[in-house]
Amino acid sequence: MPRINSSSELEKFRKGILSDRDPKKPCITLCSGSACHATGSGDVAASIEAEIEKQGLSGKVDVRKTGCHGFCERGPIIVNHPEKSCYFQITPEDVPEIVSQTVNDNKVVERLLYTDPDTDEKITYESEIPFYKNQERLVFGSNGSIDPKSINDYLAIGGYSALEKVLFQMAPEQVLEEVKKSNLRGRGGGGFPAGRKWEESRNAPGDMKYVIVNADEGDPGAYMDRSLLEGNPHSVLEGLMIGAYAIGSQEGYVYVRQEYPLAVENLAIAIKQAEEYGFLGENILGSGFNFKVIVHKGAGAFVCGESSALMTALEGRAGEPRPKYVHTAIKGVWDNPSVLNNVETWANVPLIINKGADWFTQIGTEKSKGTKIFSLVGKITNTGLVEVPMGMTLRDIIYEIGGGIPDGKKFKAVQTGGPSGGCIPENLLDLEVGFDELTQAGSMMGSGGMIVMDEDTCMVDVARYFIDFLTDESCGKCVPCREGLRQMLKILTNITAGKGNEGDIELLEELGEVAKEASLCALGTSAPNPFLSTVRYFRDEYEAHIKQKKCPALSCKELIAYHIDPDKCQACMICARKCPADAVDGGKKKIHIIDQEKCTKCGTCLEVCPTRFGAVLKISGEPVPLPIPEEYRIITRKSKEK
């Protein structure tokens, strides 16, 4: 591929790609993101290739392995172009039918379609499925239609036109003004206006300036940045290039977790292709602008998501944060001005340039503009990635898009903002999502994790879980975070183990306040949030643990016991056979008893006991009933007595 050396060459090349493509030619797109890969999309891809050849259709149909479509609950997903019918939960066994029916005969395979759980109706198109219908997929939408390993696919949907626009039609100041006017706020956590960061760096003294993509997505239960990088790496690179042009930088970094091998791979391919085409390197598109990008793999440290820690890590050292009396935008990597934005923030930039700040500010709330991608996970029917305009209510996200809570359970809380965020209870479900709205509710936007919890989730345990996570991830540099969190974890662990004392809640509040006030970086100052928000909305659960030694959600292992109801047990032996600890004493026609000494409380017996018996009970806050005497354990069935 020859280099593209001017604006007109780019448009000519783009037209060439489009005219080579026949929009009527059948094309199967298969989701090949990490989540679908885990559910077997690799095998599906192989059998599609094989089947096409077998049925003699080679060359008559295209196969495109795309990035994540977002509906991970129903993966792997296939969309058949040009009709756009879509199939879910595809296995290699389904492939022959898809190829012969849909590709060859243009017929829809009914059984693979989405079934609306409310109406039981089959839905043929993605755009009509409630999960997709209620979203506004501006940033994430292209993921499902392009092959992330093909720069031509990106060019075919108008890729790099924003770069071309800024290089040839806009001065760096104009780009900066446009981004400032759009009020694009950082999607990685803090919600700091991107334009202000850019301006600070642009005005800072120094010739060497850096732009950085923060792809150190560490929040457990959040994977939207990974899916963007895997599925549409060029959009992130294009945003980064535009940022570099605006602030006068010639070198950029992408700091990406090494735990994301597919993201690293697709990004490396994208950079190589962009270099070959002349979008990266010297004299980009003949404009005189030079820019290169280096990928730095993160070696696994949550704190490196913090800007100053990430920059320390880029320098090849242990990623400990630095005091930020002087912003990193002025003194960042190797003390040079450095603009760091999150993956999703960068991916928004080309959209703003192409469609204008006025268009962008029409979407969202007064202070939070545009859309946000959330990873909707936990106790939710439709697990997946959803992109919604700012200002949508939590209720709409969870019930309209997410499909509510599975198994008829009751909603308890939704946790947003990752480990530094908080839990929002049911009475605040009509809250509109936005940076400031979530902070006021004691949580935060964070990078977009949204973990739904039902009645079986213990809120004290959730707080303990996050504080445990943060204690482990604290870099240890400052005392309030290192020692304070450790003490908080000790107290919370005691409470969940039934060893809580009166006054523990107050002590935790005090420790939390100190960490909040006196820690060096955002990890420490926000670390007490999981506790503070749960105690704010679920204080009764804390008190039940401490005073009655009871876990109302029946979740804390030390506070629960499993017991077999002798009146319901049918001596079917299933639990006795499945128990990994050999703790169930039973036999044929002999009512089973759980040996409380041996029981590890793994819950297997409850899971395997047939629902029609429902003999295994979980109890908390009350003594386990004594086992029934040996002589009453033999079951005599009425039918056999006759």
What lies within 8 Å, CB to CB, of 545 at 6+ separation is 460, 495, 496, 498, 500, 551, 556, 559
Select 363 or 608, whichever has its Cβ closest to other proteins.
608
**DSSP H or E segment with residue 27:** strand 27-31
Select 269 or 608, whichever has its Cβ closest to other proteins.
608
Q: Closest approach of Cβ 132 to other proteins, in Å?
A: 16
Q: Closest approach of Cβ 316 to other proteins, in Å?
A: 4
Side chain identity, residue 279? F
Q: Closest approach of Cβ 274 to other proteins, in Å?
A: 21
Q: Closest approach of Cβ 397 to other proteins, in Å?
A: 15
Select 92 or 220, whichever has its Cβ closest to other proteins.
220
Q: Closest approach of Cβ 450 to other proteins, in Å?
A: 10
C-alpha R_g of the chain: 28
Select 409 or 589, whichever has its Cβ closest to other proteins.
409
C-beta contacts of 308-311 below 8 A and 24+ residues apart:
308/332, 308/521, 309/475, 309/521, 310/212, 310/214, 310/216, 310/255, 310/340, 311/212, 311/338, 311/340
- Distances in Å between the Cα of 642 and the Cα atoms of 122, 602, 638, 639 are 51, 40, 7, 6
Select 499 or 557, whichever has its Cβ closest to other proteins.
557
CB 316 within 8 A of CB 305: no
Q: Closest approach of Cβ 283 to other proteins, in Å?
A: 24
Q: Closest approach of Cβ 416 to other proteins, in Å?
A: 11
Question: Burial level of 560, CB count in 10 A (0-12/13-18/19+)?
Answer: buried
Query: What pairing do the DSSP bridges indicate for beta strands 590-594 and 584-587?
Result: antiparallel
Select 222 or 495, whichever has its Cβ closest to other proteins.
222
Select 91 or 174, whichever has its Cβ closest to other proteins.
91
CA contacts within 13 A on the Cβ side of 107: 7
Q: Which residues bind other proteins (CB under 8 A)?
A: 34-35, 38-39, 72-73, 75, 218-223, 226-227, 258-260, 296-302, 313-319, 375, 377-379, 383-384, 415, 449, 451, 453, 457, 462, 465-466, 469, 475, 557, 578, 580-581, 600, 602-604, 607-608
Alpha-helical regions (H) of 356-413 = 357-361, 394-395
Select 241 or 405, whichever has its Cβ closest to other proteins.
405
Q: Closest approach of Cβ 278 to other proteins, in Å?
A: 25
Select 164 or 217, whichever has its Cβ closest to other proteins.
217
Q: Closest approach of Cβ 135 to other proteins, in Å?
A: 17
Q: Closest approach of Cβ 465 to other proteins, in Å?
A: 6
Q: Closest approach of Cβ 412 to other proteins, in Å?
A: 10
Q: Closest approach of Cβ 338 to other proteins, in Å?
A: 14
Select 108 or 318, whichever has its Cβ closest to other proteins.
318
Q: What is the DSSP string of 410-439?
A: PEEEEEESGGGSEEEEGGGTTPBPSHHHHH
What lies within 8 Å, CB to CB, of 525 at 6+ separation is 515, 516, 517, 519
Query: Cβ of 3: how many Cβ atoms within 10 Å?
Result: 15
Question: Burial level of 565, CB count in 10 A (0-12/13-18/19+)?
Answer: middle
Q: What is the DSSP string of 339-360?
A: EEEEHHHHHHHHHHHHH-HHHH
Q: Closest approach of Cβ 494 to other proteins, in Å?
A: 17
Side chain identity, residue 514? V
Which among 406, 330, 416 is positioned nearest to 373, based on CA atoms?
Answer: 416
Using the structure block, give the residue that is written with the tokens 């005005």. Answer: 203
**DSSP H or E segment with residue 63:** strand 62-66
Q: Closest approach of Cβ 444 to other proteins, in Å?
A: 15
Q: Closest approach of Cβ 556 to other proteins, in Å?
A: 10
- Distances in Å between the Cα of 428 and the Cα atoms of 368, 411, 414, 433, 434 are 19, 12, 10, 11, 14
Phi, psi values for residue 620, rounded to 5° = -150, 145
How far apart CA 575 and CA 599 sit, in angstroms, is 12
What lies within 8 Å, CB to CB, of 236 at 6+ separation is 213, 228, 229, 254, 267, 343, 346, 347
Select 97 or 259, whichever has its Cβ closest to other proteins.
259
Strand ranges (DSSP E) for 77-124?
A: 78-81, 85-87, 114-115, 122-123
Select 88 or 360, whichever has its Cβ closest to other proteins.
88
Angle subtended by helix axes 233-247 and 224-231, to nearest 10? 90
* Structure tokens belonging to residue 192: 């700091």
Select 319 or 484, whichever has its Cβ closest to other proteins.
319
How far apart CA 8 and CA 85 sit, in angstroms, is 37
Select 339 or 475, whichever has its Cβ closest to other proteins.
475
Select 162 or 262, whichever has its Cβ closest to other proteins.
262
